[in-house]
Each structure stands twice: as structure tokens, then as C-alpha cells.
Amino acid sequence: MNTVTESRHVAGQGEGALPARPLTILVAALGGEGGGVLAEWLVDAAAASGFPVQSTSIPGVAQRTGATTYYIEIYPVTADRLGGRAPVLALTPSPGNVDLMVASEFVEAGRAMQAGYVSPERTTLVASTHRVYTVAEKAAMGDGRYDTERLRKAAGTLARRAILFDMAEIARQSGTVINAVMFGAMAGAGVLPLGREACENAIRKQGKGTEASLRGFAAGYAHAAGAAPAAPAPEEKRWRGRASERVRAIFPPETHRLLEEGVARVLDYQDRAYADLYVQRLEPVLAADERAGGAASGYKLTNETGRFLALWMSYEDIIRVADLKTRRSRFERVRSEVDAKPGEPVVIVEYLKPGVEEICSILPRTLARPILAWAERSGRSLNFGMHLRTTTVSGYLLLRSMAWLRPLRRRTSRYAEEQERIDRWLAAVTRAAQTDGALALEVAECARLVKGYGDTHRRGWGNFERILATLVEGQPELSPADRAAAIRKARLAALADPEGKALGKEIGEAKPVVWLTPKKAELMGKE
């Protein structure tokens, strides 16, 4: 039995004295993770044990900008010992006064630490180390992910005790939702005044997915209590096919893992010939990397170029979006996220708004160019708002018909345009490697700017092209070290300001000449 004696909640009181305060618990969980059910389990287990308990919740906000929080207070003395008296329990937590902080995702643990809910004198922190990226992280032009190592260090410093492990993976292995693993970790941490049997009975009382939830609870309990078996080493993926075989035959071992992932991505995106093209494009880069002494850095230039090349070659177009949205794995993932039971209907509505550029991207160049020129002259965006229910036969077939255009992608205007841009970038990388390996790596990193679709892709490519023309292909008087430093500075400016204003200052672009009428010039002069 996992229990906590009353004396651990009492400061300076004698034998038999009542605790000075209740046990305070704060839970942060994302939508669809069963945080409300977890709070119910905790309340039921406390009530069944005879402890006064109170629970409140604060709803989170949409689009992954925060979590729903659940605050529970348990007075660790049974009601029969209180003689009819009732403790006063608070409705909301206060900084520095939380005994057990539980987070279903690592950045949510960071938010709790930042808000002061984790203190070294009092708080046990139980958190899952997996990540569900926020909107701000996804929208960043560069690598906008939070540094999880900083979170680990902060947890070790700010918490009285930190119990950190990947609860999402354990939930997946147990065939349950993460809330069951969280509950088990809370019980196994040794902070709750509740026995394991009371917690398991609360799960059984719920009556839904009991066996899977109990498996998850047991696994979480074992990890928190330090009794979990060591995780087996992850198996290396081995991709079948000529392209991956060429990777293992031609490229050094330091590059195999990343390049094989690249092969798998472009193979999934198009076909085997496209994967062969991916490998073929990287061979000159490897040769240049070896000449520049790349072995000493673990062939970083080859790895980074291979990473960005795989992303660029699998650019997002209407065909790709339609393919991903109509895959069976996506429907299964959505059903899992909303916790749909077998046979329970789930309705998925896709909100699409393709513009004239997206539509022209799947047309041949001979048709796309005059349409785009007309749209530019007329100033019309021609966006088409569409709401498709892919869980209906008609909606699914309509979107899937776009995915079936994949064999024709090579004939589209976007394909031809992107291949020309890729070849120009790769040529710049190999030329730079002949001069300096560090310079070549900076040129390769510039591909980080090209991402997304629509306006995001247009701005990113525009910034990339400005750096390429000005600092990579221009200014021959610059030394390799100065050129590399200038490219890096310009790239960081472009990532920080996608609109390109900061980039213009870095590369010294002259302000455009604006011709004004005498009347407008006079008005501006008065201002």
C-alpha cells in the first residue's frame, strides 16, 4: 500500500495533532487527454478513503496555447476523526503552495514552474517528457521549439523532487489514454494519502476501458516508484529498395540514419525514381564534404543538406495535402485523439481555402503562367473557401481525387519551378564547399527559409533568393569567413522577421524609389 502518514503534512505538531493544511494538487492536461476523468478518479479515491476533498477546473484555450488545469485539495484525515467539523478548502492554487504538480506535456510543466507553482521546499513535480508543439513553435520560420534541456534543469532545481518520463509512449504501449499513466505516476510518487487499491477501484468504478486504464496506471506507478524495467534500445529502421541500399553502399555510417529517413520521406511523397533522384543529388555534396574534411565533423554538411533536401523535395502542394488528409492513419489518429469508441461516428470537416497560385501549381506551365499573369495584373486573389466532410463518401472521394493526381505531379508548373530552385541551391552548396566547409554549411542552412505554402512559402522563398543573389552568388570581394558570417546573420534576420525588413537592413538593400505627384509630395512635406 502506498500511503503517506499525517505527520508529513504537519509542521511542529505533536502526536495526534491534526494537519495544519490540506494536500494540494494541480494537474495540467491538454484537450482530449482525459484530465477531467483523472480529477474524478482522484476525488473518488479520496472520498472512498474517507478524506474530505474538493476539486475545481479552469478550462484552457484552443489551438494548443495552454492546458485545462484541475485543482484538488485533500484533507488527509478521515471524517470520523474530525468530530463533525469540516476543513476549509480553497478553490484555486497559489504560487508556492502546491504539494503535487502534474503535467501531461513538458512545456506545460515549464508553464507551471514559470508561474511559481513548483517550489523546492514543497512541490513534487510529475511530468511527461513528450512534446505537443504549440502554435508559436510551429509558426516560427526557424526552429521554434523550446529547449527541453532547460526544462529538465529547471525541474531539477525548482522542484523538491522531479519525476519525469515519457507518459505518452507508455500510454500508447498500454493501449490507453495518458490520464491513466498520469494517475499511476501520482500514486507511485508517494505523495498522495491514498492506497493503490483505492486508486484502482476508482478506475474500475468509471466502467469504461477499465483493463487498458489499469495497465496504464500500473506502468505509470512502476515508473514513478522506480520499479519500471529498463527500456529496450530502439530498433534501427531499415528501408527496403534501391535508394536506401545505395545510401548504405555509398554514404558513410554517420549519415545513414538521417539519409534513410530522407529516402523514406521522398519515396512516400512521390515514387522510387524520385527517391533515386534524392540520393543522386547528394552524391556531389558528399564528395565536396569529403574534400573539405567533413569526416572530422561527422559529415555535418552531408547530413544537413540531406535533411533540408528531403523537406524541399516533399514540398506541400494540393496533391500532398489531399493525400495526407485522406489516409487511413489520419482517420485512426483523429478517432484516437477524441477517444471515439468502436462503432461511434466521428465527423471530420476540412476547412480549405486554395488560392489562384495553389490551383495553378498543379497545372502545366503553359496554362499556369498566363493565369498567374492575369491575376497579378487584375490584382485578384481568387480564394475559394471549401468545407469538406471527409467522413462522407462524396467528401472523401472529392479530396481523394486530388491525391490521385500524384503520378502527374512531374508535369505541373510547381514541380518544374521547385526542381530548378533546388538545383540552384545545391550548386551553390557544392561551389561553396570547394572554398570552405563552414561557408558551404551556411549556404545549406539557408534552405531553412523555404517552407510552408501560400504566402508563407512566397515570403520564405523571396528571402532565400535575396540572400542567394546578394551574399552567396554576389560580392566576390568577401572572404569565405566574412561571407559565411554575413549569410548567417542575414538568415537569422530573415527567420526573425519573415516580412523581410530586417533582412533588407542586413544585406544593405537600397530603399525603392517612389515617384510622387506634386500634390502628394506637398502633403507629405507638411507632415
Enumerate residues 6+ apart whose C-beta is below 8 A from 450. Answer: 312, 421, 457, 460, 461, 464
Task: Tell whether the model's pLDDT for residue 505 goes beyond 80.
Answer: no
Q: Measured between alpha carbons, how far is residue 440 from residues 262, 437, 471, 481, 496 in Å?
A: 20, 5, 12, 11, 22
Looking only at the bridges linking them, the beta strands covering 124-128 and 161-165 are: parallel
Task: Tell whether the model's pLDDT for residue 13 goes beyond 60.
Answer: no
**Residue 232 pLDDT:** 54
Residue 217's H or E segment, with its range, is helix 210-225
**Residue 507 pLDDT:** 72
Instruction: State the Cα–Cα distance between residues 128 and 291, nearest whole angstrom.
Output: 44
**Could you tell me if 275 and 282 are in contact, meaning their C-beta atoms sit under 8 angstroms apart?**
no
Amino acid at 217: F
Q: What is the mean pLDDT of residues 4-33?
A: 66
**Residue 522 pLDDT:** 57
Instruction: State the Cα–Cα distance between residues 382 and 168, nearest whole angstrom.
Output: 43
Spatial CA neighbour of 78 closest among 189, 194, 239: 194
| Least confident interval from 312-316, 393-397, 498-502 | 498-502
**Could you tell me if 46 and 214 are in contact, meaning their C-beta atoms sit under 8 angstroms apart?**
no
Enumerate residues 6+ apart whose C-beta is below 8 A from 177. Answer: 33, 34, 171, 209, 213, 216, 339
Spatial CA neighbour of 41 closest among 281, 207, 173: 207
**Could you tell me if 457 and 498 are in contact, meaning their C-beta atoms sit under 8 angstroms apart?**
no
Q: To the nearest whole number, what is the mean pLDDT of the chain? A: 85
Q: What is the mean pLDDT of residues 350-379?
A: 84
Extract the C-alpha cell encoding 54. 474538493
Position with higher pLDDT, 131 vs 206: 131
**Residue 4 pLDDT:** 35
From the number of C-beta atoms within 10 Å of its C-beta (0-12, 13-18, 19+), residue 441 rates as buried
Instruction: State the Cα–Cα distance between residues 318 and 312, nearest whole angstrom.
Output: 15
Q: What is the mean pLDDT of residues 251-262?
A: 93
Task: Tell whether the model's pLDDT for residue 321 goes beyond 50.
Answer: yes
Q: What is the mean pLDDT of residues 295-311?
A: 93
Which letter does DSSP use for residue 447 in this model? G
**Could you tell me if 453 and 493 are in contact, meaning their C-beta atoms sit under 8 angstroms apart?**
no
Task: Tell whether the model's pLDDT for residue 202 goes beyond 90.
Answer: yes
Write the pLDDT tens digit of every residue in 459-482.
888 889 999 988 888 888 889 899
**Residue 453 pLDDT:** 72
**Residue 8 pLDDT:** 37
Looking only at the bridges linking them, the beta strands covering 100-103 and 23-29 are: parallel
**Could you tell me if 58 and 1 are in contact, meaning their C-beta atoms sit under 8 angstroms apart?**
no
CA angle 452–454–460, rounded 5-degree value: 55
Amino acid at 159: A
Quickly state the pLDDT bin for 245 (edges 50, 70, 90).
confident
SS3 of residue 262 by DSSP: helix
**Residue 15 pLDDT:** 45
| Least confident interval from 159-163, 223-227, 347-351, 357-361 | 357-361
Task: Tell whether the model's pLDDT for residue 426 goes beyond 70.
Answer: yes
Highest mean pLDDT of the ranges 26-35, 299-308, 333-342: 299-308
Q: What is the mean pLDDT of residues 364-384?
A: 80
Q: Measured between alpha carbons, how far is residue 299 from residues 254, 266, 485 in Å?
A: 7, 21, 21
Which letter does DSSP use for residue 433 in this model? H
Q: What is the mean pLDDT of residues 308-321?
A: 93
Q: What is the mean pLDDT of residues 33-44?
A: 92
Amino acid at 486: A
The distance of Cα 205 from the centroid of its chain, to the nearest Å, equals 35
Q: What is the mean pLDDT of residues 7-29?
A: 68
Angle between helices 318-325 and 393-403 (to 10 degrees): 140
Q: What is the mean pLDDT of residues 470-495?
A: 88
Residue 138's H or E segment, with its range, is helix 135-139
**Residue 230 pLDDT:** 58
Task: Tell whether the model's pLDDT for residue 521 goes beyond 70.
Answer: no
Q: What is the mean pLDDT of residues 141-150?
A: 81
Enumerate residues 6+ apart whose C-beta is below 8 A from 141. Answer: 448, 449, 451, 460, 494, 495, 496, 498
Enumerate residues 6+ apart whose C-beta is below 8 A from 220. Answer: 167, 170, 180, 181, 182, 183, 184, 185, 186, 187, 188
Instruction: State the Cα–Cα distance between residues 171 and 128, nearest whole angstrom.
Output: 11
Task: Tell whether the model's pLDDT for residue 85 goes beyond 90.
Answer: no
Write the pLDDT tens digit of every residue in 432-460.
999 899 999 999 999 998 887 777 788 88
Instruction: State the Cα–Cα distance between residues 389 and 176, nearest whole angstrom.
Output: 28
Q: Provide the β-strand partners of residue 26.
A: 71, 101
| Backbone angle region of 232, left / alpha / beta, with phi > 0 → left and psi within -120 to 50 → alpha | beta
b/e burial code for range 23-52 (CB count within 10 A of at least 16 → b): bbbbbbbbbebbbebbbbbbbbbbebbebb
Quickly state the pLDDT bin for 525 (edges 50, 70, 90).
low
| Least confident interval from 265-279, 300-314, 440-454 | 440-454
Instruction: State the Cα–Cα distance between residues 275 and 252, nearest whole angstrom.
Output: 18
| Least confident interval from 172-176, 189-193, 236-240, 306-310 | 236-240
Instruction: State the Cα–Cα distance between residues 444 and 294, nearest whole angstrom.
Output: 14
**Residue 221 pLDDT:** 94
Task: Tell whether the model's pLDDT for residue 7 goes beyond 50.
Answer: no
